[in-house]
Amino acid sequence: MGQCGITSSKTVLVFLNLIFWAAAGILCYIGAYVFISYDDYDHFFEDVYTLIPAVVIIAVGTLLFIIGLIGCCATIRESSCGLATFAAILLLVFVTECVVVVLGYIYRAKVEDQVNHSIQKVYNEYSGINSDAPSRAIDYVQKQLHCCGIHNYSDWRNTHWFIESKNNSVPVSCCQPNISNCTGTLTRPGDLYQEGCEALVVKKLKEIMMYVIWAALTFASIQMLGMLCACVVLCRRGHDPAYELLVTTNSYA
C-alpha cells in the first residue's frame, strides 16, 4: 500500500514538472505582455516601480524551467537530496509569487493616482507631431480606447495645442472610425468619441495588473501541490523499509 502511495505521488510529481515547464512559458509571456502593454501607456504614470511585479513574473517563469528540470531528474533518479532541493526551491518561488500578488494589489491601487497626476501634463505636451512621444501616446490611446480628452472632448479647449492652433478642432484621433471626412472640428461633436480617456486608461492598466495577480495565484497553487507531493515521497521513503530495500536493490542492479 505504501509503495502504491509513493508511485502515485511520483506520477503526480512528473506530471507537475511538465506543467511547470508549460507554466514557465506562460509566465514569461504574461510578463512580456505586461511590459509591452505598459510601454504604450508609460507617459501616463511616472512610477517605474509599477513594473516590478512583471519583472518578478518573468524571473519566476525562467526559474520554473530550472525547477522542472531538477524535479524530473530527482523524481526519476529517486534522489532524496534532489527532491529536498526541489521542494525548497518551490517554497522559495511560492513565497515570491505571494509577494508578487501583494505588490500587484499595491501598485494596482496606485494606478489611478498616478494617471490622475500625470494625464493633464501629457495632454499639455501634445504637439500634433508624430515624432513627438507624448503626441504619439495620446493619439494611440484615443484610437485604441475610443476616447477623446481627459474627461471628454471639451478638455482639449484648455490645452496649449488647441489654443495655439486656433482652428477649433481636436486631433483626428478623436474621430469615430465610422465617420467619413472627420476633421475633428468641434462644430460637429457627434463625429467625436464622447468618453474621456482618463477613466479608460486607469481601467486598462488595472486589467493588465490583474493578469499578473491571477497568473501568480494560479501557479502558486500548482507549486503548493508540487511541494506536497515532494514531501509525501520524501516522508514515505524515509518511513517505508520495503521502499528503501527496493531502491537499494535497484541501485546495485
Residue 239: per-residue pLDDT: 55
Do the Cβ atoms of 204 and 142 come closer than 8 Å?
no
Domain-located, residue 211 = yes
Per-residue pLDDT at 1: 44
**Inside any domain, residue 203:** yes
How far is the CA of 58 from the CAs of 85, 88, 106, 142, in angstroms?
A: 22, 20, 19, 30
How high is the pLDDT of residue 170?
A: 94
- Determine the Cα–Cα distance for residues 158 and 167; give it in Å rounded to an integer: 14
Tell me what pLDDT residue 74 has: 66
Asked whether residue 129 is assigned to any structural domain, the reply reads yes
Model pLDDT, residue 114: 81
185: DSSP letter: B
Q: What is the pLDDT of residue 251?
A: 41
pTM of structure: 0.73
**Does residue 74 belong to any structural domain of this protein?**
no
Domain extent at residue 162? 106-219
* Residue numbers in the chain where pLDDT is lower than 70: 1-17, 46-50, 71, 74-79, 82, 230, 233-234, 236-253
Compute how many other C-beta atoms are within 10 angstroms of the C-beta atom of residue 30.
21
Q: Is residue 122 part of a domain?
A: yes
- Hey, is 148 helix, strand or coil? coil
Taking the C-alpha atoms of residue 253 and residue 193, their distance in angstroms, rounded to an integer, is 76
d(CA 48, CA 58): 16
CATH at 186: 1.10.1450.10
Q: Is residue 146 part of a domain?
A: yes
Place of cell 472627420: 182
Q: HSE-up of 61 (CA within 13 Å, CB side)?
A: 20
Structurally, how many domains does the chain consist of? 1
Residues 88 and 95: their CA atoms lie apart, in Å, by 11
At 25 the pLDDT is: 82
Distance CA 235, CA 149 (A): 63
Q: How far apart are CA 167 and CA 194, in angstroms?
A: 20
pLDDT digits (tens, 9 = 90+) for 226-243: 777 767 766 765 555 444
In-domain check, residue 150: yes
In this prediction, residue 139 carries a pLDDT of 92
Provide the CB-side half-sphere exposure for 207 (13 A, CA).
Answer: 9
Angstrom CA distances, 74 to 113, 132, 179, 217, stand at 48, 55, 63, 26
